Structure 1
């Protein structure tokens, strides 16, 4: 089972608009100067554990990193009503987290998959809070050019069958590939995540907002990072999106939707280079 690594990582509690947000904070070890603060935001059915392999690598490079469970995910508080899971509420939580960890200094922001959607909304709303934006396996649209069931259908599945129905769909493809202990963690996380969170995210994705123009207008450095094989969005979609945003790209050959878990060292190397150039 995934758990907080002992390497310079602490379990911390932050505050969001719906209550406590569970988080991990990883700080540079003794003898390594802190360069900047980084916030990492997980996606649909995800959590802070999605960045477990990255945190010690980034800390060793001098970056203070915070990863948190979004409202209603895994170990974070969240309402039981779907109306409590709007893009505005997710983005407001993110801004609140920034206020708690930044000490008034702009930070680097990374969002994975749906976490990238939330990151875009937060940057578009409050660009002065951020030093850069990284979208990791987070394409431009939830409804076109994506290898994923229509959000409306996924929402209906969860509404009718709850976490069990979603887990049955997910576990079929993972059972032969994921070690038993990891599979147990993923199952526990799905069942601990509020049903309203998952339905709410699908509704947000169904009515996604195009922030391309707003993000370009911020002038912030942007990195589009993605796997070349098996991501939810084809490489051509990520490439086109990067061009529209004027963003840098990082591509991971033979990797699907989880570069953060499949190639953490390579992802971190690219992030460190990007953040260093963003000064």
Structure 2
């Protein structure tokens, strides 16, 4: 964007096998609304290095990273936080721990507890095969076939391969275990009082849409269902997703300023 950001900044956290690039399609429209928007790789993901210590990749440990990044992005002021899929579980830790004053929190295609359904099966396969067969096997046996079957352009397929193979093996394994064992912290999150949005694709194959709708009700949160989208609305329906986030963020800022 050009000029000086007039509104509070935002921090975007990707999912288990994702990266900052998952948000590319929404970055410009979000920034044009007058705010600084920062998307990250979590430690051990793609272009961000991480240690071999497995404890560095729990939701709690990664949530501490989110706290520190939010402090830098917001320079001590309020920050809008978005967590996609597993990134939602990580970001939830940062909101609940209370170390950072968040302007708002968005759970994007992230459920109340451990992932279920089709993506649960995929994660279990990763944990089972990763130690003996390696990341290259996971790519060629599952991710590549899914990408080609979806008609993803060759240059994007090449990027997806490079990204997956760049992940720390330790990080990928522990994060996969975390997304399968996460417990429901919805009631704790509801007590924090941070304006919350639950946003998901109408055909999400991660957490079933009805579970996310129930979570939104329990949180007394705003809820946006993105038509036609599956598990990655920022990629599959960027205009709708960016518009929903901008509207929610503007409303959240208005609430803060009238307190």
| Residue of structure 2 equivalent to 1:148 | 120
Give the alignment partner of residue 124 of structure 1, picking from 91, 96, 116: 96
Higher mean C-alpha displacement, 99-108 vs 126-135: 126-135
Q: Distance in 2 between matches of 1:148 and 1:86?
A: 18
More helix by share: 2
Q: Distance in 1 between matches of 2:59 and 2:94?
A: 9
CA RMSD of aligned residues (A): 1.7
The answer to whether the 8 Å contact 1:145/1:237 transfers is no
* 1:220 counterpart SS class: coil
Q: Distance in 1 between matches of 2:77 and 2:159?
A: 35
More strand by share: 1
Deviation at 1:83, TM superposition (A): 3.4
Specify every segment of 5 or more residues in structure 2 that has no aligned partner in the other structure, as ranges: 254-259
Aligned length: 251
Matching of residue 57 in structure 1 with residue 29 in structure 2: yes
Give the alignment partner of residue 146 of structure 2, picking from 170, 173, 178: 173
* 2:121 counterpart SS class: coil
The answer to whether the 8 Å contact 1:146/1:234 transfers is no
Specify every segment of 5 or more residues in structure 1 that has no aligned partner in the other structure, as ranges: 1-27
| Residue of structure 2 equivalent to 1:163 | 135
Deviation at 1:99, TM superposition (A): 1.8
| Residue of structure 2 equivalent to 1:231 | 205
| Residue of structure 1 equivalent to 2:257 | none
Q: Distance in 1 between matches of 2:80 and 2:205?
A: 24
| Residue of structure 2 equivalent to 1:264 | 238
Q: Distance in 2 between matches of 1:147 and 1:76?
A: 24
Q: Distance in 2 between matches of 1:228 and 1:152?
A: 24
* 1:52 counterpart SS class: helix
Matching of residue 46 in structure 1 with residue 46 in structure 2: no
Q: Distance in 2 between matches of 1:143 and 1:57?
A: 30
Deviation at 1:153, TM superposition (A): 4.4
Q: Distance in 2 between matches of 1:218 and 1:56?
A: 30
Q: Which has the higher contact order (CA 8 A, sep 6+)?
A: 2
The answer to whether the 8 Å contact 2:112/2:183 transfers is no
Q: Distance in 2 between matches of 1:150 and 1:186?
A: 16
Alpha-carbon spacing, 1:247–1:145, altered in 2? closer, same or farther (3 Å): farther
User: What TM-score do the two structures reach when normalised by structure 1?
Assistant: 0.85
Q: Distance in 2 between matches of 1:160 and 1:139?
A: 30
Alpha-carbon spacing, 1:258–1:247, altered in 2? closer, same or farther (3 Å): same
